[in-house]
Structure 1
């Protein structure tokens, strides 16, 4: 009779294989899990920042230009044609600097006509004076003759008066002589009055003739002023900011030709983002960067209108101008809006805005791991941003753009 023998050793071997297999599967699952949630990032590819505590000065930044407080807009005084352009924008000018030369033949003709009219009026005055002098001399000559006749009649009356008393001359003859004397005396008085009135009349005619000369002189001065305006001069010392004409261009009266600005008295205009306008107030301190130095200033005016998502802020400069400061120079400005004491802050991370909540990777000093941590941010400065909650002093965070790893809670930092 056959006896069946059980192979217990083979059964034990299979059980051991099952245990080893399950362990391997679990180990593989653990490896896969770790690989899914922890990625490796080289330290050379990231940028770290440390949380600090202290005074934090909030600022608002913007770009703009320097403007001249003393500007001169040059316009065409009359219709003309651009004959020559002497200076171009950016040129330094003095009050007598010639910027452009215009030409208008009609104005030249008008100047000559006005000069002729003035000479004619002056000649008329001279002729009037000659005629008046001649007339006055004739009247004075007649007056002298009449005065001589009157004196002769007076002598005759005096002589006949004694002879009439002696009866040598008849009373009739004496009375005739006396009548002739009285008539000559009245005529003499009338002629004297006439000469006096003639002198007044002559003076009035001279005034009229002189007023005509003055009118012609004013007309000549006006047309010469128009002619002189054909030579476009700067008028003030500074820089030629813009030129609105071209060679050969025809311009009309009042048309803009050029803009000149002083370099001694400047102010700044900054374009500030609309999102920061609530922080800006008149009187706040400003730092202006001209890329060749810095200047201090103060907010003087905030434009209430919004243009293309920005507002304009006018800044009065309170310090000395930099060497390169000039009108229309591109600048960068920082407005210091408020100061926080004992605030937590960190160097501004990429893609983080003020008053927002974002996740940054906090570096574990005891390992090479960095863990995603939610931070609440407050105000920002030019280079830093306030941390309202989620961090403490001396903690380090990755400030680089980590958006490609945002699905991972933990990352490993390799050397």
Structure 2
């Protein structure tokens, strides 16, 4: 009877242990089936927007600078040295305002030589002209003498012919006078030809001398132009923007000396992301923010090439410029691409891409929770994006960066 009394407590403890083990495993299985708790997010730091329906403007934004429409770069055309700086950057200049004074001793010497060569050529021309005119006058005098002798011989021949018909002059004298008349007539013709040749030769020789004079004058004008270039002038009315030289600096041909711009006629040079530039068209309206006011304009030019992931767009500035608008001022431009009379749109979420599908957190009706949903987006603007499917007007969504909650399908707002 002692053995059954000792086995009964052990059986009870075993049954109790098995029951507790089964209950523990059932609890673990139940916990495994429970969904993880939704993360909690502060509502105050979360950007929330409501889906709207109505007219929508499609825009792209770009940053850039103001650039003068009229710019003149002054460059050096020969070796020189900077002697004096007469005007500093920022100064208002006229077209004839001297900016720099340069020096070149070799040019000064060659210019003086060219001047004397020009004067010598002019003197040689005048001397040759006088000498040839004297020769021409001698030929004309000789021609006049022969002409007179020929006329007298003709008169004598006519007289002897009349007397011969009357028998008062012998035939021998008639033949003699006739021969003299023919000889003088021939000499008169030859002298006329000689004078014509002499005149042609005179013109040719004078033309040759004149060409030498013109060559010497052209060289002298070139040297004077180069000498004048040693005093660098603005060349246009405007403001001196850059002067990248110093006194005493040696300059090589082609060195940029200064930059002059007309400050009242400006354009905006904007950089637009290459992915947003596909819909740009010349003539589209642009709003330029100079940080001190807005200026309206239109697209003037679209660069056909992409540089560093952006497309350069030139925009006009229409109307009076705000105070402080000047070249190289940083600005922001918004270009209007298109308008939709009726569209469903919402503020642009951080992760949203135009013409693509994505996920977004949609708030519950009471605003206490947000559920992740699939949304298909359409065209995008600067701060808004078109909704094609997945949302309805009046829905509230989270626009902030939700990458921290990628593993959660819902979040709680407090």
What TM-score, normalized to structure 1?
0.70
Go from structure 1 to structure 2 and tell me whether the alpha carbon gap of 1:128 and 1:393 turns closer, same or farther (over 3 Å shift). same
Q: Structure 1 residue 181: deviation in Å?
A: 5.6
Q: Distance in 1 between matches of 2:169 and 2:306?
A: 119
Pairing 1:331–2:331 present: yes
Q: Which residue of 2 aligns with 1:15?
A: none
What is the CA distance between 1:295 and its match in structure 2?
Answer: 1.7
Q: Once structures 1 and 2 are overlaid, which stretch shifts more, 116-125 or 270-279?
A: 270-279
- Contact (CA 8 Å) 1:295, 1:322: kept in 2 or not? no
Q: 1:282 touches 1:302 (CA, 8 Å); kept in 2?
A: no
Deviates more, 1:96-105 or 1:110-119: 96-105
Say if 1:363 and 1:397, in contact at 8 Å, map to a contact too: no
Contact 1:56 1:343 in 2 (8 A): yes
Equivalent in the alignment of 1:252: 252
Q: Following TM superposition, by how much is the alpha carbon of 1:127 offset from its aligned partner in structure 2, in angstroms?
A: 1.1
Give how far 1:216 is off. Answer: 1.6
- What's the offset of the Cα at 1:280? 4.1
Distance 1:259 1:361 in 2: 57
Q: What residue in structure 1 maps to residue 297 of structure 2? A: 296
| Residues 377, 385 of structure 1: 8 Å contact kept | no
State the alpha-carbon separation in 1 of the partners of residues 161 and 393 from structure 2.
141
Q: Per-residue displacement from partner, 1:233-278 (whole Å, max 9, x unpaired)?
A: 3434455555554443333334444455555765543222234344
CA distance in 2, matches of 1:147, 1:41: 127
Q: Write the mapping of 1:146-161 to structure 2, written as runs, cut at 5 A.
A: none
After superposition, the Cα gap between the structure-2 partners of 1:163 and 1:228, relative to the gap in structure 1 and judged at 3 Å, is same
Hey, what does 1:18 align to over in structure 2?
none
User: Does 1:76 find its partner at 2:106?
Assistant: no
Q: 1:244 to 1:358 in 2, by over 3 A?
A: farther
**Aligned residue number for residue 357 of structure 1:** 358
Q: Which residue of 2 aligns with 1:383?
A: 383
Shift in Å, 1:398: 5.5
Query: So what's the TM-score if we normalise by structure 2?
Result: 0.70
CA gap of 1:103–1:376, structure 2 versus 1, over 3 A, is farther
Please tell me whether the aligned partners of residues 281 and 302 of structure 1 are also in contact (alpha carbons under 8 angstroms). Answer: no
Aligned to 2:60: 60
Deviation at 1:410, TM superposition (A): 4.5
- Residue 235 (structure 2) pairs with residue 235 (structure 1): yes
Q: CA deviation at 1:336?
A: 2.8
- The one-character-per-residue Cα deviations of 1:326-378 (angstroms, maximum 9, x if unpaired) are 5544321223334445434344456665556354473765x7x3435446363
Shift of 1:123: 0.8
Query: Is 1:371 matched with 2:362?
Result: no
Name the SS for the 1:78 alignment partner.
Answer: coil
Q: 1:370 to 1:198 in 2, by over 3 A?
A: same
**Equivalent-residue separation in structure 1 for 2:100 and 2:373 (angstroms):** 65
Structure 2 Cα separation of the partners of residues 184 and 100 of structure 1:
75
Separation in 2, partners of 1:162, 1:40: 147
The answer for the alignment partner of 1:197 in structure 2 is: 197
Aligned to 1:126: 126
Secondary structure of 2:276's partner? helix
**Structure 2 CA distance for partners of 1:206 and 1:385, relative to 1, 3 Å:** same
**In the alignment, what sits opposite 1:314?**
313
Q: Is the 8 A contact 2:52 2:346 kept in 1?
A: yes
How far did 1:405 drift?
7.5
Whole-angstrom distance in 2 between the partners of 1:217 and 1:248: 32
Match of 1:272 in 2: 272
Give the secondary-structure state (helix, strand or coil) at the position aligned to 1:286.
strand
Question: 2 CA distance for matches of 1:403 and 1:314?
Answer: 34
Of stretches 317-326 and 149-158 in structure 1, the one that deviates more from structure 2 is 149-158
Query: 1:312/1:325 Cα in 2 relative to 1: closer, same or farther (>3 Å)?
Result: farther
Quote the offset at 1:82 in angstroms. Answer: 3.1
Superposition deviation, residue 139 in structure 1: 3.8
Q: Distance in 2 between matches of 1:374 and 1:247?
A: 70
How big is the alpha-carbon RMSD for the aligned residues of Structure 1 and Structure 2? 4.5
Shift of 1:120: 1.0
Closer/same/farther in 2, CA of residues 51 and 139 from structure 1, 3 Å limit: closer
Q: Distance in 1 between matches of 2:137 and 2:203?
A: 15
Distance in 2, matches of 1:50 and 1:411, equals 18
Q: Contact (CA 8 Å) 2:86, 2:98: kept in 1 or not?
A: yes
**Partner Cα separation in structure 2 for residue 282 and residue 142 of structure 1:** 82
Segments of 5+ residues of structure 1 without an aligned counterpart are: 1-32
Per-residue deviation, 1:279:
4.6
